[in-house]
Structure 1
């Protein structure tokens, strides 16, 4: 259910979701503070990665994965599903391209909050897409 809201906030949320891939793909893991709250819960359980809590956990997991990280994160189909003055629910699709050319598809389910620095994601659930026509 899409709710109306300030177009400036809606655009900021679209750019927030898109920024993640740009930062990760160039290895600017410290820059993830521009996307996530310090205490973010990043749930990649569906992909076998468990629940990562806090920015340091995300950085540690990315470094441990090393060359197993995708070379490209591409976000698309961004929908601001719920929007209040200080919170938002954002759904999007993601494509990850690996070094051997394989491509995987995910759904990002993000809960964002307005902070003094702007919008930040405080909770992200990443769900792998493995079968068509399935929730």
Structure 2
């Protein structure tokens, strides 16, 4: 299955919208990003997966000042899996209030809904070592 250019653009804009809404504190608009039953997987950070928009919203509010002040997304790659699932992979940069920053990879499954494309699953993986953590051979 191929994906139309219009769908690829819509998915790219969907992923980009995440940072704008979260950074603005517009958590009342998360339905524009996620399916109602979204799984937001933070296990690579030692947390449990969050299931549903309310769980994501509550976790963000609970984290308060610990949230990044800026989420930047880049390098979005959209693919169609052999089973027909649409997947997107992107890089994220988070800037904290003290000026420190970190890098993550977002692994998304996106689905077409009556309202448009939405993220149904997101796994967030921190980037902590260069070259995928693989030691140089030589």
* Bucket of the pairwise TM-score, normalised by the shorter protein: over 0.9
Mark the runs of 5 or more structure 2 residues left unpaired by the alignment: 134-138
Cross-structure match for 1:97: 95
1:44 is aligned to 42
Query: Matched residues in 1 for 2:66 and 2:97: separation?
Result: 8
CA distance in 2, matches of 1:75, 1:134: 19
Instruction: Tell me what 1:20 maps to.
Output: 18
Deviation string, structure 1 residues 79-114 (Cα, Å, up to 9, x no partner): 002279x74100000000000000100000000000
**Separation in structure 1 between the aligned mates of residue 39 and residue 33 of structure 2, nearest angstrom:** 12
Select which of 104, 107, 111 maps to 1:106. 104
- The 8 Å contact of residues 4 and 83 in structure 1, kept in 2 or not, is answered as no
Name the TM-score, length of structure 2 as normaliser. 0.91
> 1: CA distance between counterparts of 2:103 and 2:79?
20
CA RMSD between the two structures:
1.6
2:136 corresponding residue in structure 1:
none
Q: In structure 1, which of residues 36, 47, 55 is the aligned counterpart of residue 53 of structure 2?
A: 55
Runs of 4+ in 1 over 6 A off after TM superposition: none
Q: Please state whether the residue corresponding to 1:74 is helix, strand or coil.
A: strand
2:130 aligned counterpart, secondary structure: coil
Q: How has the CA–CA distance of structure 1 residues 10 and 83 changed in structure 2, closer, same or farther, with 3 Å as cutoff?
A: farther
Superposition deviation, residue 48 in structure 1: 2.5
Q: Distance in 1 between matches of 2:86 and 2:13?
A: 13
Aligned residues: 132
Corresponding residue SS for 2:126 = strand
Which one has a bigger Cα radius of gyration?
A: 2
